[in-house]
Amino acid sequence: MVDMITANFSKSEMACRCGDCNRHDMDEEFMRMLQELRNICGPLPISSGLRCETWNKKSGGYPKSAHLQGRGADIRIYGAKALRVMEESRKIGFNGIGFSQKGDHKNRFIHLDTLDREAVWSY
């Protein structure tokens, strides 16, 4: 059986993609909120969850990224469902929302986080 963090998100799904650190220590409140969003919007394919400093730097992440603290995730999503995720995520309390909705659909995503500031941006 897969080790689950919540009913629908596994440790491997949220783990750092570096291949070395094996970290998957996501923030409990962030994961509760992400599960609530999933309950409302349906499946949320994660392209990036937790990141170690090495992987964050290698992937071009912001030096103070929420991913480093297990308080951020990127969701592969586009179109009408992306709009719904954005709307519902604000209601739930995510206060960092980044959009990358240009180019090939398979590369589009929304970043959500719970850092101590309110921000909306595009990539």
Sheet holding 96-100, edge to edge: 46-48, 72-76, 109-113, 96-100, 119-122
- Tell me if 5 sits within 8 A of 29, measured CB to CB: no
Q: What is the CA radius of gyration of the chain?
A: 13
Closest alpha carbon to 6 in 97, 29, 23: 29
In single-letter form, the type of residue at position 56 comes to: N
Beta bridge partners of 46: 75
73-102 residue pLDDT tens: 999 999 999 999 999 999 999 999 999 999
Owner of token pair 């394919």: 45
Percent of the chain with pLDDT over 70: 98
CA distance 59 to 21: 15
| Per-residue pLDDT at 18 exceeds 60 | yes
Q: What domains sit in the chain, N to C, each tagged with a CATH number?
A: 11-122 (3.30.1380.10)
Per-residue confidence band for 22, with pLDDT thresholds at 50, 70 and 90: confident
Tell whether the model's pLDDT for residue 2 goes beyond 90: no
For position 1, what pLDDT does the model report? Answer: 52
Counting residues of the chain whose pLDDT is more than 90, the rounded percentage is 98
For residues 17-52, one letter each, b for 16 or more C-beta atoms within 10 angstroms of the residue's C-beta and e for the rest, the string is ebeeeebbebbeebbebbbbbbeebeebebbbbbbb
- Looking at every residue in the chain, the average pLDDT score rounds to 96
For 55, residues 6+ apart whose C-beta sits below 8 A from its C-beta are 16, 17, 18, 21, 61
Report the pLDDT value the prediction gives residue 70, as an integer from 0 to 100.
98
